[in-house]
Amino acid sequence: MTAIRLPTPNGSRTVYNLGQPSQWRRPDGPVISRIAYAAPHVVPAALADNTPGAPAVIDWDSTLAYRHELWSYGLGVADAMDTAQRGMGLDWGATQELIKRSAAEAAAGGGLLACGAGTDQLVLADLPDGRPGLQRVLDAYQEQINLVGSAGARVIVMASRALARVARNADDYRWVYENLLAEVSEPVILHWLGPMFDPALTGYWGSNDVATATQTFVTLVSDHSAQVDGVKVSLLDAEHEVRLRAQLAEIPSHVRLYTGDDFNYPELIDGDGIHHSDALLGIFAAIYPAASAALQAYDAGRPVEARAILDSTRQLGQHLFAAPTPYYKTGVAFLSWLNDRQPAFSMVGGLQAGRSLLHLVKAFQLADQAGLLLEPDLAAHRLRLLLAVHGYDG
């Protein structure tokens, strides 16, 4: 049994004994009972200048290998999303390259891929007010949608900081989205990202009242359901998602609800006996072997086992996505490093500093308890190195 001496929040030290990793099994093909996308991070070139504000320099071999790892477990990949640090270190130039490279890998290997299309090539301070500003947002969206579509991936229409800045009411949101949906060649996924993930998106859909915003959103989806494959909702509110899921089920053209709730995903994916959510989750990039095992159990008609596996990862998900929630990405990269999926604990934009040492220590323990430290000796060795860098001598 591997043991490691760890710091505690009260300043003392404790000996922690690691368990054994679970024997996770890869499926023979994609999971089918739920459509499930994992939203992975990007791995930076470890010795490059990935400091805040610098253009992102990506370790493409490690980044793409991570996507192949997800595909090998039967999951889809949702790339170039917020987990990949859109708006938090991944600039537009690197984003374009990521989309093209991931799409080529998906095409070669038959992996399910969707990619985010947003407006982050715009400089917010340069946007004019009124209809000229909305037109700039629309043009930026169309540029990115065309890039994703031409690469061969499904389009995820991301929430836009630029639109949140220039829109004055629900009609402004409807004008932009209706024009977008009128031109798409294939059904898209609409993403509603809440302010807990990005405060710049406060008041999205034209209202700070969630019920009012939801009505605008549902009306838009209903009016354009033929152009909408599904919606991804990231509000961390399970009751709201269940109500929204029921509303979407009443639309004649089937519209999926892809949960983006990294706190409550076990019960939302499991369902209420009438409806269940599909998944498009950042947490799945961290717990992908367990997520795959749960979905394989659903495929095999073993829902109790499936739910138990998902529940076993809940505490880790809640910890990684605790406030300040935008920095959950640091935990995803940390676990990737512990599991030898990247050579260094580093992130574009220097975001590896986004969580405290004690937060990471707790993530290590919770990942171990969920059976997700795939090589415990290596993970413990790497954590010892990190502790030493922080002045902890064990």
The pLDDT tens digits of the residues spanning 264-316 come to 999 999 999 999 999 999 999 999 999 999 999 999 999 999 999 999 999 99
Inter-residue contact 304 to 36 (CB < 8 Å)? no
pLDDT recorded at residue 232: 98
Q: pLDDT at residue 104 above 90? A: yes
Q: pLDDT at residue 99 above 90? A: yes
Q: Where are the domains of the chain?
A: 34-357
Inter-residue contact 363 to 320 (CB < 8 Å)? yes
Instruction: Fill in the amino acid letter for 358.
Output: L
Inter-residue contact 189 to 156 (CB < 8 Å)? yes
Instruction: Give dist(CA 71, CA 65) in Å, integer.
Output: 10
Q: Which residues, 6 or more positions from 104, have their beta carbon under 8 angstroms from its beta carbon?
A: 151
pLDDT recorded at residue 139: 98
pLDDT recorded at residue 341: 98
Helix (H, G, I), strand (E, B) or coil at 11: coil
Distances (CA, A) of 321 to 210, 293, 295, 301: 21, 22, 22, 30
Torsion angles phi and psi, residue 386, rounded to 5: -65, -40
CATH code matching the domain that covers 34-357, chosen among 3.30.70.250, 2.40.50.140, 3.20.20.70, 2.30.30.140: 3.20.20.70
Instruction: Give dist(CA 74, CA 325) in Å, integer.
Output: 27
pLDDT recorded at residue 115: 98
Q: Which helix (H) or strand (E) holds 141?
A: helix 130-151
Instruction: Fill in the amino acid letter for 129.
Output: D
Distances (CA, A) of 360 to 232, 336, 352, 387: 28, 12, 10, 10
Can you tell me the mean pLDDT for 107-128? 97
The pLDDT tens digits of the residues spanning 50-83 come to 999 999 999 999 999 999 999 999 999 999 999 9
For the full predicted model, state whether its pTM sits above 0.95: yes
Return mean pLDDT, the chain.
97
pLDDT band for 113, please (50, 70, 90 cuts): very high
What torsion do the CA atoms of 24, 25, 29, 31 make, to the nearest 10 degrees?
-40
Instruction: Give dist(CA 80, CA 51) in Å, integer.
Output: 20
Tokens standing for 148? 């994703």
Which of 28, 37, 35, 181 has its CA nearest to residue 106? Answer: 37
Can you tell me the mean pLDDT for 149-166? 98
Q: pLDDT at residue 1 above 80? A: no
